[in-house]
Every structure is written in C-alpha cells, then in structure tokens.
Amino acid sequence: MSIERGWAAEQIPDLGRRVFVVTGANSGLGLATTRALARSGAHVILAVRDEGKGRAAVAQLADEIPGGVFEVRKVNLADLDSVRAFSDELHAEHTRLDVLVNNAGLMAPPRRTLSPQGHEVQFAANHLGHFALTGLLLDLLEAGSDPRVVTVSSANHRKAALYFEDLTGEHSYSPMGYYNQSKLANAVFGWQLHQRLTAAGSPVRSLLAHPGYTATNLQTSSPTGMVRFLFGRLLLPLAQTADQGALPTLYAATAPDVEGGQFFGPDGMGELRGAPKVVEPAPRAADAETGRRLWELSEELTAVRFGLPAAA
C-alpha cells in the first residue's frame, strides 16, 4: 500500500462515535492519540493507572473539544487482577468496542521489580497486561465496526532478545535490556495475533506501530542515571512531539486502507521522526517458533485463552 506523503491527524476520517480504548491515555502518546481521535468524533475510553490524572486529562480535553465523549477507567496493566476487573467493567456497560490501542508503557526502572503476580514489571505492564486485555476484550471487538487492535512497539525491538530462560531478570536484569525485551514481545504478539485472527476468519485486524523518538515522560518517569540523561536530556532536542509521535498509531487505528499485520513507523531517517509509513519488523518478530513459544507462555502466565487457532 502507498501512504500519502506527509499524512497528518487532520486526515483522520469522521469516526462517528466509534468506541476506542486507549491504554495510558492521560499523558504523552496516549493523550495525543486520545485528543486526535476525539477531534474526529470518537468515543474514547481512557484506560489509566491513576484515575485522578485521567480525570484531569479529560477536563483538559473537554475544554479543547466541546462535545467530546470520554470515559475514564482504571487499569494497572502490570496487575492481571486489575486487567480482569477493567474487562468486567467494560462488559457490564458496553456491547461492542471498535478499536483497542495497546499504548501504555513502562521504561527502564533502575531496579528489578516484580508485578503482583511475580513477573518482571516491564514485561508485565508492556506485554502481559496488553496480551490479557486483548484476549478478554476480543468478543467485544468482534462485535464492533471495522474492529482493530493496534499494539505500540518500539524501534528498539530490533535490538532485543526474548530471555525465555530468565524472563523475570533474576540472573541478568538490565533496565534497557528488559525494556527492549518487552517491546520485542509487543511486536511478536501483534504479528502472531494477526496470523491467528486470519486463520480464524475473524473480522478483527491486528496492526503494529512505533512512534520513533518522541519526547514524553516515558523517558523520565522511571529511568535514572545515564538512561535518563541520554533520553531525557542529551538527545531530547532530536525528539519529535507527542502529537507527531502518535501519527503511526493513529494511521493504524483509523486509515481505511490498512491491512492486518502491517507495522507503521515514522518515514524520516532511521525511523526516528516523520509521517507514517509501512516499516519492517525485525525478522525474529515474525519468526513462527518464537511466536508460538511466546503465545503459549503468555496464555499460561495470564490464564487468558484466546481460542484462536495457530497459523499454518
């Protein structure tokens, strides 16, 4: 497919009250994504860890977008019990969802930290939480209009490995190494989900996006030391804004001509900045054996079964 050069959020079609869930929607890329969707008429459910910050974000958005339709829902993606409670709430109040944007992320906490279920916290929040959320909401998505799951990865997935023998980092934790692992897991999941949805004949499309190098609080809220200095200060002048970084996600979530399995990133040098284009995932992201192993492990660790056949 060919994307019009310089595609911008103003080219999002009328979304006509289609229902979107955006995780991590109160700041950074999530807030930019929510703002652009609401401006185009979407009903946006802000899935946030801190309800107070979510309500503050909605107050800001309501001033900017009179008539915008928003909901604030609490979910801690690092806690699988919270993910299930969030899903239960949505099932109680909605009969369909149209698009799920798996955006929320945690980056490079300096010390190894475990989730309530005992998983390394970046793998838990960035991958397992979104894996479980997608599986739990799949029935609502299948009832939606032009339903999609957009999973936000990172260009860093290309330099990553999956530490299947040390997923919790007990023996070899490094902040960026385990962040990169979680972003590779996002890419593997998005591709595997596409393969399995296609095999099942599902109407839901799975797509991937990455924002390039974007100035958000992701680089400063968790990292410390050299990682924080590098990404939060030294390289900051090279970063694009959150509104720009959200464009690949927005294209994947709204453009009428996207195809399941596509990966969108910035079109500038090194995919660091720019308008959306189709990009290539790392070969290991589409490796069948890696995908099978991660999928089966993720179902085991989350106790969420999608009921989708493995791709041929």
Q: Where are the beta strands (DSSP E) in 6-104?
A: 19-23, 43-48, 69-74, 99-102
Q: What is the CA radius of gyration of the chain?
A: 18
Q: Encoding tokens for residue 285?
A: 């992201």
CA angle 288, 162, 124 (to 5 degrees): 110
Q: Does residue 196 contact residue 304 with C-beta atoms inside 8 Å?
A: no
179 is catalytic: yes
Tell me which of 173, 178, 179, 213 is the catalytic residue.
179
| DSSP secondary structure letters along 136-193 | HHHHHHHTSSS-EEEEE--GGGGG----TT-TT-TTT--HHHHHHHHHHHHHHHHHHH
Reading the block at residue 172, the tokens are: 């070899």
128 closest CA partner among 295, 308, 280, 1: 295
DSSP summary character for residue 29: H
Cite the active site residues.
Answer: 179
